[in-house]
Amino acid sequence: MILTTDAAIKELLERSKTVAVVGASANASRPSNDVFRAIVRGGRYIATPINPTLTEIDGIAAFPDLAAYAAKNGGPDIVDVFRNPDDAPEVTREAIAAGAKSIWFQLGVVNDDAIAAADAAGLDVVVDHCLKIEIARLLR
């Protein structure tokens, strides 16, 4: 289901415990690093970086892809997508295969095919919102 209301997004945030951040970066100047670190600092979620070029960020082990994450941890509650919109369909396929419960397309990550595929697979879908901003805004 595509979540568009504050109430629906808040409910997703409240029931979730794990976040797999696809495209998390170790580069402190990247928005994906800022959001990843904010999620970790917030202490509400277990956040995990998903990036094939990293082994860890700030001591938190990274996984090369969602399949490797799921093999160790099961499906994440939220897959947070920091990738080019053209990459979103593949990330969506991986999220579905990994047993994710929801997919969160960060600001600017809008791909109609990926959104439709996630919705059709029964995932909760948030589009064009920043996870860090929405946590701060809705869960204060």
**What DSSP string runs through 29-67?**
TSHHHHHHHHHHHH-SSEEEEE-TT-SEETTEEPBSSHH
Q: Say if 28 falls within a structural domain.
A: yes
pLDDT attached to residue 140? 81
Q: Say if 126 falls within a structural domain.
A: no
Q: Is the pTM of this model over 0.85?
A: yes
Q: Say if 2 falls within a structural domain.
A: no
Q: Say if 139 falls within a structural domain.
A: no
Q: Say if 138 falls within a structural domain.
A: no
Among 76, 6, 72, 83, residue whose Cα is nearest residue 39: 76
pLDDT tens-digit map of 58-110: 999 999 999 999 999 999 999 999 999 999 999 999 999 999 999 999 999 99
Going by the DSSP 8-state scheme, the letter that residue 52 receives in this structure is T
Q: Say if 51 falls within a structural domain.
A: yes
| Residue 83, domain CATH | 3.40.50.720
pLDDT tens-digit map of 112-123: 999 999 999 999
pLDDT tens-digit map of 4-32: 999 999 999 999 999 999 999 999 999 99
Domain hosting residue 56, numbered range: 18-120
Question: How high does pLDDT run on average in the chain?
Answer: 97
pLDDT attached to residue 79? 98
Number of structural domains (the chain) is 1
